Structure 1
């Protein structure tokens, strides 16, 4: 297979990665738009390097004409989650989707690898619309917590340096680090509700402050200079006290003032 053939071969996989990234980023946005907690922290994607495809094909005895079915992770996306519970929730959402078919799942969280690696993998069949018609491609969705991802990134770098032959002392230390990362996830899971509540409070406050400041700017736009300045003074006082209840009342008063300004301007 020459470079042009590889380009044509990888094209539907590249399309699949881009489309899947958009779909899961959109899912995250949907949760946010409904003011719901989102199990998705962020999403990344990649196409396996040609050298990695060839190495894996050789290791698994996959012939060149069987790459599409023999190598399942040529296209891959990675979804980061805050908590292990988020991974289980997200995997259920993926199973329920109609735009992709789950082929099988590999739970390396419950059954971690000997190295200490933990992650949740789902192999899906995803239909890509090409110029020649619909083409189903295999893709891998990896779901990890941030702690799992930190460990896996370090392990990958070390394996690359030592060409998959890690010194025994480093192996042991990596296993210990993996266990520490797992315990961190367990501790975070035990106070998950408190963390989510604190994050929601922060987001509510951020949205409220933005709404007030945007409203003050709108009053200036309608040439309500004195009224805008009065609201700004009130906001400055409340910002010092961090009184959310009075900030909400101020926001409501501001919206009423904007309605009056719009009516008198029409």
Structure 2
């Protein structure tokens, strides 16, 4: 992807870096909550719905690119107002029902405000992309104030993450404008991934059912 020419925003991003403390703290808060919820679920149900968690901060170039695309001036105020995914966490699950389990667990936290959600499981993007996105606010307690800070949470299966990662790399090579036949093949691959998720879930449920039958026989 071609590198864009950045406006003179040195002073703006000097101020923005002070905000990064809030975003980084919000990532830690959400990450810790998810780890605790996963540990609790494993203790109670003998099964952990989360395979692993990844976090990232949006680069300054990406922030500038997004504001320019939205037709907004490059200011700290506009970063706060128009960029929801400065801080992002990706939660990778084993099976599709785990996605909604995690959504419920996050939504039930008293100190987390769910700002909005996008269910790309029910309504995949035209590219075939599937995932569940949440924008949440988590309170960050500083020495003299509390600052609600936004974090984007993406929740998807291992298979969905595999597809999304490769799709991103392919589109990067074409600067976001892949030929139609490539887009068609990617959509077909997304359908295969969805089928794979369904098959793996069915196998897992069958194994669980067999284990329960074995336990009944032992009794």
Length-normalised TM-score, structure 1: 0.70
Structure 2 equivalent of residue 99 of structure 1? 111
Query: C-alpha displacement at 1:70, in angstroms?
Result: 1.1
The verdict on how the C-alpha distance between 1:44 and 1:125 changes in structure 2, with shifts beyond 3 A counting, is same
Counterparts of 2:52 and 2:195 in 1: how far apart (Å)? 22
1:28–1:38 contact (8 Å) kept in structure 2 = yes
RMSD over aligned CA atoms reads 2.1
Matches within 5 A, 1:185-204: 185-195=197-207
Q: Name the SS of the counterpart of 1:110 in structure 2.
A: coil
Quick one: which of 24, 27, 30 aligns to 1:17?
Answer: 27
Q: Name the SS of the counterpart of 2:155 in structure 1.
A: strand
Cα displacement string for residues 131-157 of structure 1 (whole angstroms, at most 9, x for unaligned residues): 441111111110000110000000111
Structure 1 equivalent of residue 72 of structure 2? 62
Quick one: which of 163, 172, 175 aligns to 2:184?
Answer: 172
Structure 1 equivalent of residue 97 of structure 2? 85
Q: Name the SS of the counterpart of 1:34 in structure 2.
A: helix
Matches within 5 A, 1:1-266: 1-2=9-10, 3-63=13-73, 64=75, 65-195=77-207
Counterparts of 1:133 and 1:167 in 2: how far apart (Å)? 51
Q: Name the SS of the counterpart of 2:175 in structure 1.
A: coil
Cα displacement string for residues 91-150 of structure 1 (whole angstroms, at most 9, x for unaligned residues): 111111112100111001110000111100011011112244111111111000011000
Q: Which runs of 4+ in 1 moved over 6 A?
A: 197-200
Query: C-alpha displacement at 1:197, in angstroms?
Result: 6.9
Counterparts of 1:180 and 1:115 in 2: how far apart (Å)? 13
Unpaired segments ≥5 residues, structure 2: 1-8, 213-217
Counterparts of 1:199 and 1:144 in 2: how far apart (Å)? 27
Counterparts of 1:88 and 1:186 in 2: how far apart (Å)? 15
Query: C-alpha displacement at 1:198, in angstroms?
Result: 8.7
Length-normalised TM-score, structure 2: 0.84
Query: C-alpha displacement at 1:195, in angstroms?
Result: 4.6
Counterparts of 1:61 and 1:89 in 2: how far apart (Å)? 37
Q: Name the SS of the counterpart of 1:183 in structure 2.
A: helix
Aligned length: 201
Counterparts of 2:86 and 2:170 in 1: how far apart (Å)? 22
Counterparts of 2:111 and 2:211 in 1: how far apart (Å)? 32
Q: Which has the higher helix share?
A: 1
